[in-house]
Structure 1
C-alpha cells in the first residue's frame, strides 16, 4: 500500500536529506588527505645536526652545489638565504633582503644562485662565492620554484598565483618572456634529453610541456589520480617525471616517452619538495606534515622503501649525489632552535 505524505512531512524529509548530503560532503573535505598513509621504517640514519641562524620561522626550498659542498637554504620567514658549507658543517653566511624568499637554485656552471622573492615579485641573482646580490628581475605574482635551461642560458620562475612562467636571462637578468599557463603554477623542471620545460599546472591537475625556444605550450598532459600537482622532479636518464599531489597525498610516476602515468603511490600529507639522487636511484619526498617518503627506481619502476614522520617542519629536502647524504632544514632541532638535519641511507 502506498502511503501519501503531507506537504509538511515531505518538507521535513527533504530538509533531512539535504543536511545529510552536506554532512557527507563536509566529512569528505575534512578527511581528504588527512589519513596517514601506511607507515614503513625509513632506510635513513641521522649522522649530523648543524645549527642554523635566525628564528624558528618557515624554511622553504634548498639547493646544493655538490662540487663545492655549498647548500643554499631559503629561510622564507626571515626573508634570507642561508649558505651552509656541508664539507665543514658550518654556516658560511646569511644573505639578506630577499622578501618572502621561496625558491632557491644554485647553478654551479655559472657560480650563481637564483632566489625568488615572493613578497616583491622578483627573482634575484646572487654571486655564489661572495653572496652579493647582482641583480633583481620582475616576475609574475608569487614566484616560487625555479629551473635552469642551459641551452638558452635562462632561468624559469613559476609564478604560483600569477599562473605563469617568467623567463629571465641568467647572465643579465633581462626578462625574455612570459608563458601563461591557464591555471595556478606549481613547480618547473628542465628535461635535458628532449630540451623541454615541464610545469605543474596545479589547479588543472595537468603538466604543461613548453618549447623553451618559442615559449609556447606544445602539450598538456592530464594527471589522473592527482589533486593539485605541486612538487616535481625528474629521473632524466630514464625519462621519468615524479609529481607530488598535495591535495590527496599521492606521488605519480609519469613516463615522458608516452606521457602516461605509470604508477601512483601514497606519501605523507601535503607533499611539497622532491629530490632525486640519480646515481643511487633514490627518490625523496618531503611533506608539510613532516613525513618523508623514500623510494628506489629499477627498470623504470618506482618502489617505496620507507614512509614515516622524520621531524616537524621537515617539508624540504636536498640530496648530494656524490655522498648520498640528504639534508632537511627544520625550525626546531634537538635544542629547540633552527637546524639542518643530515641523514645517510641505511638503517
Structure 2
C-alpha cells in the first residue's frame, strides 16, 4: 500500500453546496495505546457493529475492543498478512497472507481458523468482500491479478488478470470493483459477476495511487497518490473531478458519509481531513499531526474516531548486494495505536 494528486477545482452550479466546518472538525489525539510486540503492520479494519479493531502484524492479526482498546484475541499463522475482510452475515472473516499467498478463513466470534485457501497469484495484498457477487477478492501484488473466492463455500471461483500491480480496491455493492494499479497510475473497473475488467481509467496528475475510499451517495472515489495529493474521481466516468494537497507517504484513505469528510493518512506524520463541499468541490479543513510512520488507518463510522498505527524506527542497516536500499529497523516494543477523535 502507499500514496496522492494536484489542483483542479470545478465550480458547482445548482443547489447550494454544503459548507465546510468553520473552524475544522477538531480531530485530536484522544488515546495512545502502547501495544509493543514484534512485527510490522499494514491495514487496519474496524467492525463498527461488533466493536472490534483488526490490526495486521506480519504473522498474525491482533484484535482489540474498539472502545476500550483492550486486547480481544489473535488470528495466528497469517504469514505476511496485509488485510482483513469481514462478512458478518456468514460470521466469517478472511485475511490476505502475502508471504504465504493464502487466505485464512476465521470465525468472527471465536477468531478460530476455519480453513486456508491458496490464492491464484502471489502476494495477496488488499482484500474485500463484494456483497453483490458474494465473493471475497484478493488483489495479488506480484501476481498482477485478483482471486475471487466464494465466501460461503470457501472455494476459488476464478481469477481476474490485471494490467499491473494492484494496491487497494473498493466495491460499490452493485457489481463493480474499483482497483488502483499502482505501477501504472490507473484504475481498473472489475465486473464482479463476470470476473472481467470492463474499464481502465488513467489518473494523471495522480501518481502511484495507493489508498482508496468511496462515497456511495455521490459516486466519488478518493485516492491517495504518491505525489502528495488526494484525487477525487467520478466513479461513473473515471473523470478526475478535483485534487487537494496532502502529506508525504500516504497509504490509506477513508470517507465518513455522515460528516462528508475524506481522510488521508501519511507516513510523514500527518492526517489530512478534507470536507466534501459538493460532489465536485473538496476543501482541506484540517491537517492533524500524528506520528511519523502512521501511514495506515481505519475509520470507525459509529464514533467517527480514526485509528492509526505507528512505531519508532532506527537507522537502516548497511547496504548489501541483495539489499542495496535497506529499510530502517523498527525499534523493538515501540508499536502503538493512536486514536483520534473530535
Q: Pick the TM interval, shorter chain.
A: 0.7 to 0.9
1:155 aligns to 2:136 (yes or no): yes
Q: Secondary structure of the equivalent of 1:58?
A: coil
2:148 alignment partner, one of 167, 173, 187: 167
Question: Which 10-residue stretch deviates more, 129-138 or 104-113?
Answer: 104-113
Identify the residue that residue 124 of structure 1 maps to in structure 2.
104
Structure 2 portions without partners, runs of 5+: 5-22, 314-331
1:61 alignment partner, one of 24, 29, 43: 43
In 2, distance between residues paired with 1:179 and 1:318?
27
- Relative to 1, partners in 2 of residues 1:141 and 1:171: Cα closer, same or farther, differing over 3 Å? same
Identify the residue that residue 44 of structure 1 maps to in structure 2.
27
1:271 aligns to 2:250 (yes or no): yes
1:186 alignment partner, one of 146, 153, 167: 167
Identify the residue that residue 134 of structure 1 maps to in structure 2.
114
1:292 aligns to 2:271 (yes or no): yes
Provide Cα deviations, 1:105-161, integer angstroms capped at 9, x if missing partner: 223333322211100011111111111111111121111111111122111111112
Identify the residue that residue 256 of structure 1 maps to in structure 2.
235
Provide Cα deviations, 1:140-189, integer angstroms capped at 9, x if missing partner: 11111111111221111111121111111112221111111121112111
Structure 1 portions without partners, runs of 5+: 1-32, 34-39
- Relative to 1, partners in 2 of residues 1:46 and 1:336: Cα closer, same or farther, differing over 3 Å? farther
> Aligned-pair distance for 1:75?
1.0
Identify the residue that residue 320 of structure 2 maps to in structure 1.
none
Q: Secondary structure of the equivalent of 2:89?
A: helix
In 2, distance between residues paired with 1:243 and 1:145?
15
> Aligned-pair distance for 1:312?
2.0
> Aligned-pair distance for 1:41?
8.9
Question: Which 10-residue stretch deviates more, 303-312 or 265-274?
Answer: 303-312
Give the number of aligned pairs: 301
Identify the residue that residue 22 of structure 1 maps to in structure 2.
none
In 2, distance between residues paired with 1:63 and 1:182?
27
1:283 aligns to 2:280 (yes or no): no
> Aligned-pair distance for 1:332?
4.9
1:145 alignment partner, one of 114, 119, 126: 126
> Aligned-pair distance for 1:307?
2.5
Q: Secondary structure of the equivalent of 1:197?
A: strand
Identify the residue that residue 87 of structure 2 maps to in structure 1.
107
Decide which structure has greater helix share: 1
In 1, distance between residues paired with 2:44 and 2:80?
14
Cα RMSD (Å) of the superposition? 2.1
Identify the residue that residue 303 of structure 2 maps to in structure 1.
323
In 1, distance between residues paired with 2:299 and 2:73?
20
In 2, distance between residues paired with 1:87 and 1:70?
8
In 1, distance between residues paired with 2:46 and 2:278?
27
Identify the residue that residue 70 of structure 1 maps to in structure 2.
52
1:338 aligns to 2:335 (yes or no): yes
> Aligned-pair distance for 1:292?
1.5
Identify the residue that residue 23 of structure 1 maps to in structure 2.
none
> Aligned-pair distance for 1:314?
0.8
